Structure 1
Amino acid sequence: MANKAVIVIGGVAVAFIALKLLGPLIATLIVLGVIALPVAAYLMLDPSQRRRLRGQARKRLGS
């Protein structure tokens, strides 16, 4: 199984455990926070840095 698939499966498992232990509202806030953090970090980059990051992602796709 690919590394990304393992990470996604682990994230879903943690979300379900948080849902059971902490309740739906707090679990939802945690999941939204985990999603919002990388989005906010990407939006804080300069346009040239975003371009460079997209270029690196394209390079990895071909390898």
Structure 2
Amino acid sequence: MPKVVLVIGGVAVGLVALKILGPLVALLIVLGVIALPAVGYLMLDPSQRRRLRAQTRKRLGS
């Protein structure tokens, strides 16, 4: 349930940003929010990715 609320909130903020700031700025914001963490993850080497996944699983399990 909390994830659904976050998704709905994100869509609402995106639509407001699109209306207020214009399409180009809103697209840049969305790409920054999505692309930067993905690029950071892809820059990790395989051992760092394994440690990150293990840490994430440990947090989810507790």
| TM-score normalised over the length of structure 1 | 0.74
| TM-score normalised over the length of structure 2 | 0.74
Taking every aligned residue pair, what percent have the same amino acid on both sides? 75
In the TM superposition, residue 5 of structure 1 has moved relative to its aligned partner by 1.8
Partners of 2:28 and 2:43 in 1: CA distance: 22
Unaligned stretches of 5+ residues in structure 1 = none
Unaligned stretches of 5+ residues in structure 2 = none
Which residue number in structure 1 is paired with residue 20 of structure 2? 21
Partners of 2:16 and 2:31 in 1: CA distance: 15
Computed over aligned residues only, the root mean square deviation of the Cα atoms, in angstroms, reads 1.9
Partners of 2:21 and 2:56 in 1: CA distance: 36
Partners of 2:40 and 2:9 in 1: CA distance: 22
Runs of 4 or more consecutive aligned structure 1 residues displaced over 6 Å after TM superposition: none
SS in 2 for 1:18: helix
Which residue number in structure 2 is paired with residue 35 of structure 1? 34
How many aligned positions are there?
Answer: 61
- Residue 40 of structure 1 aligns to which amino acid in structure 2? V
